[in-house]
Amino acid sequence: MTAYIIRRILMTIPILIGISIISFGIMQFAPGEPTALDLDPNISPEDREAQLEEMGLNDPIPVQYLRWAGNILQGDLGSSFITNRDVATMITERLPNTLVLMITSTVMTMVVAIPIGIVSAIRQYSKRDYVFTFASFFGVSIPNFWLGLMLIIFLSVQLGWFPVGGVGTLGGEFNLFDRLHHLLLPALVLATADMAQMTRYTRTSMLEVKNQDYVRTARAKGFKEGKVVYKHALRNALMPLITMFGLLLPTFIGGSVVVEQIFTWPGIGQLFLDSTFQRDYPVIMALTMFGAVLVVLGNLIADILYAVVDPRIEY
């Protein structure tokens, strides 16, 4: 097992290098440059040229890449072109907000999707199953930015039940209820599509397991239906879902960009969007790599968990 984990971690190195090269390249192809946005309109073209030169942006792309990679390997993420602040500090400031959002969404997804999926599978083709099926197609199809805006318009602006955005009331003391109050809507919006999708996965997985021979054996042993389902079917049905959670992680990252923007949630996603608009290359690259590591790590954890719950898998 340990050998497997080490091997897997080593395998992520070429993957991350590949990702960094590709994203670095793509970023350079995008039109515009960091100097275009925030500089004094009266600046002369010569000065601008000098500035680009100073930032190293006139060097050939491979040279720029190697310089960036060299710094990264020394643990230096560089500093923002725009604010001149240390990128690592910028990320760590905002990371907790995003993590809170993501973890809440993940928990919401599990708590909602798994029970509903199970009920749908056990009562396949019942009224409840149809209702849940319809609701999940709805959930998958609704664009999260639209859902977010609608919730803000109705629940926050018109009914005033929820704050319009932010992580907490400005200037107030830390207050758990206030935080949760602010957290609920963005977390819900971020979770909606995944909830819907996980419901479907759980249902499918449970349907498959429901008719397995060992479930019939459990019935033949005289166990009550509840024990048959929760002890003998559920654990087998949940195994494939672990992988699904690993694969859903990237959608959270993508979703957080949109959701944080809508709910003015000062997290990584917002930072990512801002830095992209401003062509703030060091920040963009750092966040891209951060996302890549998260995805790779998510998959690794899913694989390890899989081996923990399924005795048939040995690494």
Q: Which residues bind another protein (CB under 8 A)?
A: 211-214, 216-225, 231-232, 235-236, 239, 309-312
Contact 180, 204 (CB under 8 A): no
In the complex with another protein, the residue whose CB is nearer, 65 or 306, is: 306
| Residue 226 Cβ vs another protein, minimum distance, rounded to whole Å | 11
| Residue 2 Cβ vs another protein, minimum distance, rounded to whole Å | 21
| Residue 211 Cβ vs another protein, minimum distance, rounded to whole Å | 8
| Residue 266 Cβ vs another protein, minimum distance, rounded to whole Å | 43
Short-list 294, 299, 204, CA closest to 253: 294
In the complex with another protein, the residue whose CB is nearer, 104 or 120, is: 120
Q: What whole-number distance in Å separates Cα of residue 106 and Cα of residue 77?
A: 29
| Residue 206 Cβ vs another protein, minimum distance, rounded to whole Å | 15
In the complex with another protein, the residue whose CB is nearer, 158 or 211, is: 211
Which DSSP string corresponds to 214-247? HHHHHHHTT--HHHIIIIIIHHHHHHHHHHHHHH
In the complex with another protein, the residue whose CB is nearer, 85 or 231, is: 231
**Which residue type sits at 201?**
Y
Q: What whole-number distance in Å separates Cα of residue 226 and Cα of residue 239?
A: 19
Name the strand (E) or helix (H) holding 153.
Answer: none
In the complex with another protein, the residue whose CB is nearer, 45 or 222, is: 222
| Residue 231 Cβ vs another protein, minimum distance, rounded to whole Å | 8
Contact 142, 193 (CB under 8 A): yes
86: left (phi over 0), alpha (psi -120 to 50) or beta: beta
Alpha carbons within 13 angstroms on the beta-carbon side of residue 106 total 19
In the complex with another protein, the residue whose CB is nearer, 203 or 210, is: 210
